[in-house]
Amino acid sequence: MNSSDTEQRAKIFAALSDPTRLKIVELLAEKEELSSSEIAHQLEISLALLCHHVKVLVEAGLVQTRKEGQSKYSSLNRELMMACFTSFTQ
């Protein structure tokens, strides 16, 4: 394991250490993609707060976003999640 892998894992675990961000990841694990308004509604938080949390998840590489019209959609980077967690079992 090289230092860049270790730094990436540290970013991932730091992002997941917040309960709200963990809930966002759990929601995205259940669906292919969700709009920001859907996620905010399900978590009962403001769009502004959601945007902050999604930004942290994007910076860690866990979540990808795309914009369609006025809506922003988020999806889970499943490959990175699997790679991160399976590396501990090898």
What's 38's domain CATH number? 1.10.10.10
Give dist(CA 30, CA 17) in Å, integer: 19
Number of domains into which the chain is organized = 1
Residue 90 has pLDDT above 90, yes or no: no
CB atoms under 10 Å from CB of 26, counted, come to 10
pLDDT tens per residue across span 25-39? 999 999 999 999 999
Residue 78 belongs to what domain range? Answer: 3-86
pLDDT > 70: percent of the chain: 93
Residue 55 has pLDDT above 70, yes or no: yes
Q: Identify the bridge partners of residue 76 per DSSP, sorted by sequence position.
A: 63
Starting at the edge strand found earlier in the chain, the sheet holding 63-68 runs 34-35, 71-76, 63-68
Residue 1 has pLDDT above 60, yes or no: no
* Cα distance from N-terminal residue to C-terminal residue, the chain: 11
Half-sphere exposure of 58 (CA within 13 A, CB side): 12
